[in-house]
Chain A
Amino acid sequence: MKEGLYTTIQDLGRFSFKNIGIPTAGAMDEISFKLSNWLVFNHENTAVLECTYIGPELLFEEDALVAVGGIGFIPYVNKTEYHLFQPIHIKRGETLRLNSTELASRAYISVQGGFQIEKDLKSFSTYVRAQIGGIDGKALHKGDRIPTTPPTHIPKTKPYLSSQWVDAILCRDTIRFIKGNQADWFTSASYKAFQENSYTISPRSDRMGYRLHGVELIKSLDQELLTEGTSPGTIQIPPDGQPIVLMKDGQVTGGYPKIGTVISADMSVLGQKRPGDQLVFKEISLAESYQIKKELNQKLQWIKKRIELERRTI
């Protein structure tokens, strides 16, 4: 009924096409994405709607079990308010809308059974720049219809994840990174300044990358890099000295020197940031990053098991 500011269909992304230049795409906040799927008893890689700042208004033509994950949104079905990260049994003819608070960034709307649409290059993820995936490779438009299936399972009680539990994982301003392949191209003062000052996310930021503003970073070596691979989270420094963090639609190779790469465990935190937000970068070791990843995986598996206990066949 309303499309929202920028709503796309996403799953965990598209793998095995990077060699022809196609980025992974996929959910910017994989944690909220997975939780939203688990809460409606879906496989974690089921396609969902990713909403940006302002959510859509959706009329359901079939019964559905849905959940809305993310930060800063309040889901409503007709006039009833629900929690984020709560399974909602929507009846045919009812409307789901999201109210945005000032913290609203990205929300994930999952539907049990997913969407009855075709994959494109092995994934549902929308990559708008090349018009791949989703519905015609585009963001949603008013009037688009996405086929869903009625639920076969519903929760036994009325569970939802507490916002404290989610915020403890997703709400932080310190972004941890692993030292980059060209970190030593920068003056030691610049490398230090990068971690001692905060950087602001520019409005010219999107799913491809976040442009940051802050202390200019100076190279001590005057050389050009031969293009090489990048990854989501790679922090590139163009000659103007202002960092760019590549996100899920980021180019697969790049020629700007890389001062670091954000650890995978913090990519969801970054995925929930908005233009104007301030970030502080902190270098950690590879071993520490794996410890963090392992603990995060354990936390998520624990909650996944708790959610599964709620499953009841209709």
Chain B
Amino acid sequence: MRYQIETLGDEAVIIRFFGASDSVVQKRILAFTNAINHDRFAGYMEAVMAYQTVTLYFTPQFNQGCSPFDFVQKHIERILQKSADITIIESKTLNIPVCYDIQVGSDLPVLANELKLSIEEIIQLHSEPLYEVRFIGFSPGFPFLTGMDERLAFPRKSTPQLKIPPGSVGIAGLQTGIYSLETPGGWNIIGRTPITLFDKKKSSPAFFKQGDRVKLVPISYSDFIDWKESSWPFE
């Protein structure tokens, strides 16, 4: 596997992994992130994992005898050489209710039309796989799910929508995910879950964790309206 270290402005770097299978890249990213969190460099703040990248945020250090970027790069390379260990993450399977109705999935008609599929076929294709939460990003608690059927791939909107309701299930390219808060966003919305994805009062504010397996369970619009967390079998 190969990697390159790219700058993201002057206070962050992106480490991009490539030349290996998706699952190998995923494990490498996890191992590296664990390693750097235990072996920090001066000025290190935090790391954000994504599909093929880890982004590190730092305060530039001017007293290390080299440029702030060289200092960070040296540390990263040292860690990359010794963090080959594979970390196994514990995972659970969660049943997540999703209402695929045009009242809450406003882009279903457009997708059906462009993908030459019926709405029922979209629902079936989208609710069939066992997804995995690859990482949490975009907004607090937003899970990026991998495992979507390629027939559902559809590009982002050309202009982001200003307000997307929390719980909205969207598609962007080959990715699928769930909006956790009311935010702007460019994904195509095909449904909505009634669950709360982010609650700062909980000890783990994000509902999903990296590595969770997710089964999306279609529910009707009336069940969506009447849904109660206490009576839903999550696991």
Chain A positions 216 through 238: 1 when the CB is less than 8 Å from some CB of chain B, otherwise 0: 00000000101111110110001
Counting residue pairs across A and B whose Cβ atoms lie within 8 Å, the total is 172
Q: Contact between B9 and A263 (Cβ–Cβ < 8 Å)? A: yes
With A21-B137, A227-B138, A255-B173 in contact, do A238 and B10 touch (Cβ < 8 Å)? no
Q: Contact between B142 and A21 (Cβ–Cβ < 8 Å)? A: yes
In the complex the two chains form, what is the Cα distance from A129 to B14 in whole Å?
A: 26
Chain A positions 250 through 262: 1 when the CB is less than 8 Å from some CB of chain B, otherwise 0: 0111111010011
> A132 in the interface, Cβ–Cβ < 8 Å?
yes
In the complex the two chains form, what is the Cα distance from A16 to B198 in whole Å?
A: 16
In the complex the two chains form, what is the Cα distance from A231 to B182 in whole Å?
A: 20
Chain A residues contacting B184 (CB-CB under 8 Å) are: 208
Q: Contact between A286 and B136 (Cβ–Cβ < 8 Å)? A: no
> B11 in the interface, Cβ–Cβ < 8 Å?
yes
Q: Contact between A15 and B67 (Cβ–Cβ < 8 Å)? A: no
Give the Cβ gap from A74 to chain B, nearest Cβ, in Å: 34
The stretch that binds A, out of B54-62, B74-82, B103-111, B118-126, is B54-62
In the complex the two chains form, what is the Cα distance from A59 to B111 in whole Å?
A: 55
> A170 in the interface, Cβ–Cβ < 8 Å?
no
> B183 in the interface, Cβ–Cβ < 8 Å?
yes
Nearest-CB residue, chain B, relative to A292: B10
Nearest-CB residue, chain B, relative to A15: B45
> A276 in the interface, Cβ–Cβ < 8 Å?
no
Q: Contact between B172 and A264 (Cβ–Cβ < 8 Å)? A: no
Residues of A within 8 A of B (CB): 15-22, 120-121, 129-132, 137, 177-178, 181, 204, 208, 224, 226-231, 233-234, 238-240, 242, 244, 251-256, 258, 261-265, 286-287, 289-290, 293-294, 297
Sample of 14 further A-B pairs with CB below 8 A, known A20-B204, A228-B14:
A19-B136, A20-B205, A130-B181, A178-B10, A224-B172, A227-B51, A228-B51, A228-B52, A234-B8, A238-B156, A238-B160, A244-B160, A256-B186, A264-B60
